[in-house]
Amino acid sequence: MTTIASLSAAELGPLYASKDVSPVEVAKDALARIERFEPQINAFVHRDEAATLAMAEASQARWLKGEATGPLDGVPVTIKDNIAVAGWPMRRGSAVASDAPFPEDAPATARLREAGAVFLGKTTMPEYGWKGVGDSPLTGITRNPWNIGTGPGGSSAGAASAAALNLGCIHIGTDGAGSVRIPAAFTGVVGLKPSYGRVPAWPISTMGFLAHLGPLTRTVTDTALAMQVIGQPDERDMTAMTGRPPDYVDGLKGGLRGLRVAWSPRLGLDVPVDPEIAALTSAAAQLFAELGATVEEADPGFADPIETLITLWASGAALALRDTDAGGRARMDPGLVAVAGQGERIPASAYVDALLNQRNALALCMARFHARFDLLLTPALPLPAFSVGRNTPEHGAYGDDWTRWTPFTYPFNLTQQPAISVPCGLTEAGLPAGLQIVGAFGRDALVLRAAAAFEQAKPFARVDQPIKPI
């Protein structure tokens, strides 16, 4: 039976138009489910029920007058804590940060507000988004709805957990080294890192050219709808694209026939991959062939760019904590403080070399690879979700650094290409696996089209309430 809780953004617009359901009903249902599930998953850092209902009532009035602003009018959304919402705090997961209301919307937030979306709240993240899991000194631990004994990944942790339970249809996150795709893979939702600059950012992230904004949703169509709106230009980001995005929703048509696709089970890296993840993602790649693509196993041919990432990442952390004194740092995540200290010791020449020369060499490698292949498929992650409250899995196969279990995501922050994680099955323990689809820079529409074809051929499993560990 169809319930409000099961509806996607794409389904809500026609129901609003026919008056079979109203934005106020949808908002109240989402708020009630947040209230019900929040004690178990801890996905939100800020909620303002009065503001949410006021936005829903304004949307409902527009629909009744036949003056809806577009397909996202009345659609419930969430915003990650490091993205500005006028009148709400932006604490970036830090207990040290100010809780004063931010004076204006970020570009993505502004476009959603103009489109009539209804804001449910701001979602949790690790402090300054420094790691790929979802705990912070500000909010504590965020949990994975598929098994609340595991984590949802990060840094868009709350966004992913809320998306998995459909606590809102569209969830805006950020991705500096995988922070949209990591939690999307762990929680069984769709997570897109668009081409750099496709979604303008302001205030600018301290992670600079690594940082992308993108949506997490339960369907590829909802991701495309979100991109239609948040992909609009904004003068506040000098690095953003100035042209308007293509029609991503219409671009979902076309399927996979005739595409040249590379399947890379380890990205050519010496990385242990969980056998169940390997099997599920390999079967997903085979499905691409069954749907008409020419699929060939091939690696791009680059060495692990982890040192390039760490140079840029640690430098960004140092900038984020530049004005934080010793007393403030004592209240912060010790791992973040350590990374910032590492960044403070990096020479400017090493930073510029990583930013320009090393990144450019990697981007050139991928550009030549995409001259042969339209798309690259990899596992989004080499493992399923692991125990909550940890930075790395218990078994120790990836050492003590969270970046070691995310080797398939961060290379494409360095190259700034579009990459999406789509669910491709469940392990025997009932945890999701994610398939990563990567396209050449600017080929976001093609990445979405491929994801839509895969989704249609292999519908995704859903979770409707948090599952307690056995």
Task: Answer for the pair 445, 246: CB distance below 8 angstroms, yes or no.
Answer: yes
Other residues' Cβ atoms within 10 Å of the Cβ of residue 244: 10
Rounded to the nearest angstrom, the gap between the alpha carbon of residue 341 and the centroid of all alpha carbons in its chain is 27
Q: Which residues, in sequence order, are CB contacts of 365 under 8 Å at separation 6+?
A: 300, 301, 302
Is the Cα dihedral 130, 135, 139, 142 positive or negative? positive
Q: Which of 155, 161, 195, 264 is catalytic?
A: 155
- Round to whole Å and give the CA distance between 331 and 348: 28
Q: Which of 80, 122, 131, 193 is catalytic?
A: 80
H helices of 322-373, in order, are: 326-329, 334-344, 348-352, 359-372
Question: CA dist 327 to 324, 330, 337, Å?
Answer: 8, 5, 12
Q: Which of 179, 195, 282, 315 is catalytic?
A: 179
- Round to whole Å and give the CA distance between 161 and 159: 6
Please confirm, yes or no, whether 6 is among the known catalytic residues. no
Please confirm, yes or no, whether 80 is among the known catalytic residues. yes
Please confirm, yes or no, whether 253 is among the known catalytic residues. no
* DSSP letters spanning 176-238: SSSTTHHHHHHHT-EEEEPSTTSS--SSPPTTGGG-EEEEEESSHHHHHHHHHHHTS--TT-T
Is residue 98 classed as helix, strand or coil in its secondary structure?
Answer: coil
Pairing state of beta strands 260-263 and 212-217?
unpaired
Which residue type sits at 398?
Answer: Y
Other residues' Cβ atoms within 10 Å of the Cβ of residue 320: 22
Question: How is residue 297 annotated by DSSP?
Answer: E
Q: Which residues are part of the catalytic machinery?
A: 80, 155, 179
